[in-house]
Amino acid sequence: MTASEEGRSARKRTAIMDAATKAFMAKGYAGTSMDDIAKLAAVSKQTVYKHFTDKEKLFAEIVLATTDRVDAMVDLVADIPADAQALDENLTRLARQFLTALTQPEVLQLRRLIIANADTFPQLGGAWYEQGFERVLSTLATTFHHLADQGLLRIADPHLAANHFSGLLLWIPVNKAMFHGSPQHTQDELDRFAAAGVSAFLAAYR
Amino acid sequence: MTASEEGRSARKRTAIMDAATKAFMAKGYAGTSMDDIAKLAAVSKQTVYKHFTDKEKLFAEIVLATTDRVDAMVDLVADIPADAQALDENLTRLARQFLTALTQPEVLQLRRLIIANADTFPQLGGAWYEQGFERVLSTLATTFHHLADQGLLRIADPHLAANHFSGLLLWIPVNKAMFHGSPQHTQDELDRFAAAGVSAFLAAYR
DNA sequence: CGTCAGTACTAGACAGTCTAGTTTTTTCGT
DNA sequence: ACGAAAAAACTAGACTGTCTAGTACTGACG
């Protein structure tokens, strides 16, 4: 095993994870068979079962693996320049990135996948909410707290303000996307959502 | 067929619809078998297939039937007294009812059911969104428009204001409920969400 | 005689196991 | 360091048991 290459076993494992992620996202938990995954990963079924004891375990693992990708989002909301002049502009930029990220097809598919199976895997939905959703919200709340300290915002409860910020932005576009198969949002529409949401937020919290 | 009693065939039909609704809500589309439905409706499987050509058709029908129940919600938001003194109070009452209605277990189950199958039945999710969701929102927008005309609110785009109102209220509690199996919201929590949401809304739009 | 319950049946899918033979990785004596 | 042998991982596909959509038949009931 060199530095640039993993061992065969590890390679197969990631191939299976990738294939399973793609398959589950596209066809749901029940709609995906272990044979599908094995075929898509170009791996024998036996190998799948060597790495993951059963379908449920495999599913849990691929879902939890996606929480890593939240890091980028956390970084995004971790810091906003304390510039009173450009507050509007800075928040709007954040809002745009927020909206764009959350209306990506893969993100929406993942949301649907988890929600669809929240009954069957309650602990999984809970974990994803805590580690994905709530983590971003807490970071945003801290950021708002700083801005409030510096007198740029008037915020009693930063966590609540973070809730309101995301609610103003996301409720409509995310819902629309959840119920329709595909996103169907132009960048232009998203920008308008961002501008309107930020404007309402600042009216309430500046 | 008397006035108080439907024909036997129609009675069977509604029994099947009720049973299918209950079963699909509880166990999802894939998790519910036609035998389950027949047994729960106390009807033979043949009779199920007499009324509904196949499983997909049955599913589509029970989902679309639930859009009728939105009427109550439409009535709820259709009118708000134009009383400047009590605007806060009236909006808060509306918000409370909104939140309570949308965090009912059956409503959440239905949401999950439709979202889970939005890929498989895209037209169904779309129809439900249009006839359920969007209808309430439009009514609320009209109500806001009236309030704006009477000088109680300062609203440029009533539809956007309705979006913001519901986003402020619902984003967090509905999301939490979607990802966790059960609601887990006390009435007290909901009341606090309602108060905070209305307060932010009025700060932005009064 | 038509409608229905009950039940048996067809045909196919799918999770998970098993076998037999191949390839890769690790171990270890020299 | 080297190469053989042991160990581990892998492939391909058959196989079991179970489940399910949808069909067909039978006998009872009104």
pLDDT digits (tens, 9 = 90+) for A55-105: 999 999 999 999 988 888 899 889 899 888 999 999 999 999 999 999 999
Ranges of CATH 1.10.357.10 domains, chain A: 67-205
Q: How far is Cα B120 from Cα A69, in angstroms, rounded to an integer?
A: 27
Domain B8-52 sits in CATH 1.10.580.10: no
Q: How far is Cα B8 from Cα B179, in angstroms, rounded to an integer?
A: 41
Burial of B205 from C-beta contacts in 10 A (0-12 / 13-18 / 19+): buried
pLDDT confidence of residue A5:
59
Nearest partner of A29 among B75, B151, B29, judged by Cα: B29
List chain C nucleotides near protein: any atom < 7 Å from a Cβ. 3-8, 13-20, 24-26
Nearest partner of B200 among B158, B157, B162, B169, judged by Cα: B169
pLDDT confidence of residue B110:
92
Q: In this structure, what token pair is assigned to residue B81? A: 């007294």
Residue in chain B closest to A203 (alpha carbons) equals: B204
Residue A16 Cα, gap to closest chain B Cα (Å): 23
Would you call A172 helix, strand, or coil by DSSP?
Answer: helix
Task: Using a CB–CB cutoff of 8 Å, tell me whether B164 touches chain A.
Answer: yes
- Look at the block and give the residue holding tokens 């939905």: A125
User: What amino acid is encoded at A102 in this protein?
Assistant: L
Task: Output the pTM of the full model.
Answer: 0.89
A61 to A53, A106, B18, B184: CA distances (angstroms): 11, 17, 37, 26
Q: How far is Cα B162 from Cα B151, in angstroms, rounded to an integer?
A: 17
Q: In this structure, what token pair is assigned to residue A105? A: 């097809």
Nearest partner of B102 among A97, A183, A130, A171, judged by Cα: A171
Nucleotide nearest A1, from its CA to each C1': C25
pLDDT confidence of residue B1:
39
Q: How far is Cα A115 from Cα A160, in angstroms, rounded to an integer?
A: 24
Q: In this structure, what token pair is assigned to residue A95? A: 């809002």
- CA atom of B199 to C1′ atom of C19, Å: 69
Domain B66-205 sits in CATH 1.10.357.10: yes
Q: In this structure, what token pair is assigned to residue B143? A: 């109500």
User: pLDDT tens digits for B112-171?
Assistant: 999 988 888 989 999 999 999 899 999 999 999 999 999 999 999 999 999 999 999 999
Would you call B48 helix, strand, or coil by DSSP?
Answer: helix
Nearest partner of B116 among A181, A55, A36, A56, judged by Cα: A181
Residue in chain B closest to A160 (alpha carbons) equals: B196
C-beta of residue A145 within 8 angstroms of C-beta of residue A155: yes
DSSP B194: H
Ranges of CATH 1.10.10.60 domains, chain B: 8-52
Nearest residue to D23, CA vs C1'? B46
User: What amino acid is encoded at B134 in this protein?
Assistant: E
Q: How far is Cα B83 from Cα B95, in angstroms, rounded to an integer?
A: 17
Q: Which of residues 141-180 of B touch strand D (CB under 7 A)?
A: none
Q: Verify whether the Cβ–Cβ distance A115 to B28 is below 8 Å.
A: no
Residue A9 Cα, gap to closest chain B Cα (Å): 34
User: What do you get for the CA distance between the two ends of chain A, in Å?
Assistant: 57
Q: How far is Cα A127 from Cα B137, in angstroms, rounded to an integer?
A: 32
C-beta of residue B44 within 8 angstroms of C-beta of residue B105: no
Taking each helix axis from N to C end, the angle separating A34-41 and A8-27, rounded to the nearest 10 degrees, works out to: 130
- Look at the block and give the residue holding tokens 């956390």: A74
Q: How far is Cα A159 from Cα A138, in angstroms, rounded to an integer?
A: 7
**DSSP H or E segment with residue B114:** helix B105-116
Q: What is the pLDDT along chain B (206 residues), one digit of tens a residue?
A: 333 345 777 888 999 999 999 999 999 999 999 999 999 999 999 999 999 999 999 999 999 999 888 888 899 889 888 888 899 999 999 999 999 999 999 999 999 999 988 888 989 999 999 999 899 999 999 999 999 999 999 999 999 999 999 999 999 999 999 999 776 789 999 999 999 999 999 999 99
Q: Domain A67-205: what homologous superfamily? A: Tetracycline Repressor, domain 2 (1.10.357.10)
Residue B28 backbone class (left: φ over 0; alpha: ψ -120 to 50; beta: rest): left
Chain A hits for B118, CB-CB cut-off 8 Å, are 112, 178-181
Ranges of CATH 1.10.357.10 domains, chain B: 66-205
Q: In this structure, what token pair is assigned to residue B65? A: 């039937």
